[in-house]
Amino acid sequence: MAVTSEPRAQEGGAAPRHRSATRSLLRLWPYVRPVRARLFGAAGVAVVASCLGLVIPLVLKWMVDGPVAHRNPGGVWLGGALLLALGTAEAALFGLRRWLVGRPLASVEAAMRADLYRHLQRLPVSFHDRWASGQLLSRATTDLMLLRMFLAFPLTFLVVNGVTILAGFAILLSQEWTLGLVLVIPAVPLVILCSLFETRYATVARTVQDQTGDLTTVVEEGVLGVRIVKGFGRHRSQARAFRALSEQVRSTELHKARLLATLWALIMTLPELAIGAALVLGTVRVADGDLSAGTLVAFLSTALTLRWPVESLGFLLAMSQDAATATDRYFDVMDAEPATAADRLRAASSRERGQEQEDGREQERGQERERGQERERGQERERGQAREGEGGLRFEGVEFAYADAPPEEPPVLHGVDLHIRPGETMALVGATGSGKTTLTALVPRLHEVTRGRITLDGRDITALSREELRALVAIAFEEPTLFSATAGENVLMGAADAGTEELLRALKVAQADFVHALPEGTDTEVGEQGLSLSGGQRQRLALARAVVGGPRFLVLDDPLSALDVHTEALVEAALRRVLASTTALVVAHRPSTVLLADRVALLSEGRIAAVGTHQRLLRESAEYRSLMSGQEAEEGERSP
């Protein structure tokens, strides 16, 4: 795990300048549709409860102008009982609203999180290479929590408060239209303020949520890379990086709080001033006899009842913008699709001119190598390779370039032609950066080829479903990844239908019998990333995972690099029996690993430069001799 002193660049960026919060939130409808009955029911209940609150001022008007003015104690008691009943009903209805939305919205959040996780598993490796893990984690946790809160409270009360405000002002204008106009006048500047606030707040809300994702990434890397941090004494620099990013988040949060505070202050001040003006004007009119005291009491009670719906607008708009931003961030990921054949062709076309130029330069640099390759192909054809048919693993004119690579940059792989016969083991050898790991990643479609094709027993891998393809192909990486599960569960991930017998056989092949000495044997939890095990132990478990299902095609990316010479020899002896019954491509750096193979392919600058037996390439290829002599020297230095 690399230790970074600066946060990774975030994906997604700021909110679009012309983004519509309503349009963003409408994208949640497919998830809300299954629970729409309860949500609409909850909104209806809340509207009824809110409207009951508007009836209370009318009861007060009746009491003041009736029983109070006529000194009728019985009418006062009746009015009090009616007010109590209205208050109790209002409270009960709001409680019913909360009950209606609680469980359904938890289900909506769970469904969205499940869809996000499932989609992340389908996206290509190139997507995960570009995105920081903390950004994805924050979308699956914080953003979805914001959406649940929005659906539970702000969404309902935007509707409820809107209906309440309209009904309340209708009552005010019907009671005394002149005083009602005094309260309506501030609505114009409030609408303008809310429009300006929405635009500015949306940008700040997106920024702070992206920064929180970056902060999550730094925390995650610091925890997973704690051994490196401690081993190199980098805890102070990591703490400084964390504090710097925390300060950015704090600064943006304060900016967001200032925007909200300014809007809230204006939203609260303007209605209060209007209510004060209406109170003065109404009192004068009562004194002049133009207005009854009960009407003034009812008018002011209604106005005060409308204070919360009006004053909550700033809070509800802020939460709506937060939710719209969270929705955009969620669909930033959900809108990403695996690369299709059409996408690859478009990418290839965009590189056409740069590729032609590169091909010209490559031809000038490597004419002699090309002639040697042609001779080798001719010799292979003479020995009857072509008569082997379409079986085995075949690369035909394979080219690969990363989707985000500049058009002028040459492909990582270009013109790769290679045939691994059924039941044959092919070692792939090449200098660092020649494209070995990339080539192996193309077989299980961890990356998609830009041009050309790969076939398994004559079937184009793009014509196979990913499930079928990955049932045929097993892969072990140089850097093994284990999960927070038992040792046995980690191995059995390589075959869904494998049992105890297959597990024990795979452990034996990978020389991973150390598992039986663990406290609970194969049921021992290996911890996050398998960090409770040594590097060699993790690599052996990963190898066992690759062979447990007896795959027809096996791709091994230097799977023995972390093993000592003695253990490597034992693993190779057991692995020979497995390789005898499968078609395998093995990335090799050590001569001992090369000797496992029937033939060797030399990959040089993204092309297959030579194919043959180990002894033949030693005789005929200076580049291969150089690679093997360096490895043999390294082996000698490490040998006792």
Two tokens, residue 216 = 């999550």
For residue 272, CA distances in Å to 240, 268, 269, 279, 380 come to 47, 6, 5, 10, 91
Over residues 21-46, mean pLDDT: 85
CATH class of 341-638: alpha beta
**DSSP letter for each residue of 15-84:** PPTT--HHHHHHTTHHHHGGGHHHHHHHHHHHHHHHHHHHHHHHHHHHHIIIIITTT-HHHHHHHHHHHH
Kind and range of the H or E run holding 396: strand 393-400
pTM for this one? 0.67
Domain range 21-334, CATH architecture: Up-down Bundle (1.20)
User: d(Cα 13, Cα 214) in Å, to the nearest integer?
Assistant: 12
Report yes or no: 211 and 249 within 8 Å, Cβ to Cβ: yes
Rg (CA), the chain: 35
Give the residue extent of every domain in the chain: 21-334, 341-638
Q: What does the pLDDT read at residue 349? A: 45
Report yes or no: 397 and 415 within 8 Å, Cβ to Cβ: yes
Over residues 494-523, mean pLDDT: 84
User: d(Cα 171, Cα 35) in Å, to the nearest integer?
Assistant: 34
Q: Residue 581: pLDDT band by 50, 70, 90 thresholds?
A: confident
With a pLDDT cut of 90, the percent of the chain lying above it is 5
State which of 58-67, 219-228, 540-549 shows the largest mean pLDDT. 540-549
pLDDT for residue 347 is more than 70: no
Q: Alpha helices, DSSP H only, in 176-186?
A: 177-184
Report yes or no: 60 and 296 within 8 Å, Cβ to Cβ: no
Q: What does the pLDDT read at residue 390? A: 59
Q: Residue 535: pLDDT band by 50, 70, 90 thresholds?
A: confident
User: d(Cα 145, Cα 147) in Å, to the nearest integer?
Assistant: 5
pLDDT for residue 50 is more than 80: no
Q: What does the pLDDT read at residue 351? A: 44
Taking only the tens place, the pLDDT of each residue in 381-424 is 444 444 444 588 999 999 998 877 777 788 888 889 999 999 89
pLDDT for residue 78 is more than 90: no
Over residues 189-205, mean pLDDT: 78
